[in-house]
Structure 1
Amino acid sequence: MKQVKRYRFFVVMLGIALGMLLFNHDLGVKVFTLSTDSVLGMLGVLPPIFILIGLLDVWVKKETMVKYMGKDSGIIGILLGFFLGSVAAGPLYGAFPVAGVFLNKGSRLANVLIIVGAWSTMKIPQILFEWASMGLKFTLIRFVMDIFGVLIIAYSMEKLLTPKDQQEIYALAKKMN
């Protein structure tokens, strides 16, 4: 019964898509084509990310992660979070399994949120493209605003979450691993 609950959204969406296929064949075909393309795109990105996560999990000791990304990591944890998020490859949904590994290894929640924030807004190829198409001034303004925005969001979230909420996040990350 638990498996049925887990996949009920998928089953409902599949039913809606099949209904579209019956009532509006062209739209239904388009829905299935786009869905297939999305799934294939994810399957092309996720395996390399999972391999890298596995290597990170095996190669980096928990003590090392706590030292550089833990509660007392200070500016090193912040800079490392920005660096890891900026050089990451793949779409944003690839950041969440990475975040889970970092949480399991004892990283500070704010530092993990910095990684996710930098992953979504500050990737190096994105910055280079912006520079070429929008100009240096625009790129620098947006980059500086992103730094402050990511920091404000990461530390605000850490402060707003109760210790119980944070424990639940760490427990969920451990459960997913």
Structure 2
Amino acid sequence: MKRFIWNYKASILIVAGIILFCSFHEVVGRNTVLNATHFSLEVFKIFPAILVLMGLIDVWIPESFIENNLGNAAGMKGPIISLLLGSFASGPLFASFPLALTLLKKGGRLQNVVIFIGAWSTIKIPMILMESSFLNLRFSLLRLTITIPFIVLIGFVMEKLIDLDFLENKDGYR
């Protein structure tokens, strides 16, 4: 029981906080519970498809393909492929994290995986089309020319700052 509480302490604290908050502010507490329920249902709708996609990537795409195109051997084409993969992806941002983990397990370079997540969150093609229809094409292109170099820079910096040996030993992702 102690291990369960220790492993889920953040979730337990959040639930306890919501219960405490509900006792003081019933309407806000009810809205919080409704929003949390709605978000949880949304996650449960999408998550099975993510798991299937992770399984298909794991089985169908050989490690050598990932290593050659997104790993250390990829060179300059790695960031470009990562930007394209993230740009053409669809779905909420939380869907990118299990896929990113799968890419890391298959030998993807951390820089390229971070670029993939950054592109997924900011450079989706449908989002750019909608943005340009509301804010005009010039604004969208300017935002892209500013965003893309910073995504690549963030990927480079993250790779320099994060010790992959620590992650491998702690989480066993490889």
TM-score bracket, normalised by the shorter chain, equals over 0.9
CA–CA separation in structure 2 for the residues paired with 1:94 and 1:124: 17
**1:39 Cα deviation (Å)?**
0.6
CA–CA separation in structure 1 for the residues paired with 2:28 and 2:149: 43
User: Given the superposition, is the C-alpha separation of residues 148 and 173 from structure 1 closer, same or farther in structure 2, using an over 3 Å criterion?
Assistant: farther
**1:88 Cα deviation (Å)?**
1.2
Aligned ranges 1:16-165 → 2 under 5 Å: 16-161=17-162, 165=163
SS in 2 for 1:96: helix
Question: Aligned Cα RMSD in Å?
Answer: 1.6
> Which sections of structure 1, spanning at least 5 residues, go unmatched?
none
Count of paired positions: 173
Contact 1:100 1:173 in 2 (8 A): no
Aligned to 1:167: 165
User: Given the superposition, is the C-alpha separation of residues 130 and 170 from structure 1 closer, same or farther in structure 2, using an over 3 Å criterion?
Assistant: farther
CA–CA separation in structure 2 for the residues paired with 1:172 and 1:117: 24
CA–CA separation in structure 1 for the residues paired with 2:128 and 2:171: 30
Give the TM-score of the pair, scaled to structure 2: 0.92
**1:3 Cα deviation (Å)?**
2.2
Q: Which amino acid aligns with 2:16?
A: G
Q: Which amino acid aligns with 1:168?
A: F
Give the TM-score of the pair, scaled to structure 1: 0.91
User: Given the superposition, is the C-alpha separation of residues 171 and 99 from structure 1 closer, same or farther in structure 2, using an over 3 Å criterion?
Assistant: farther
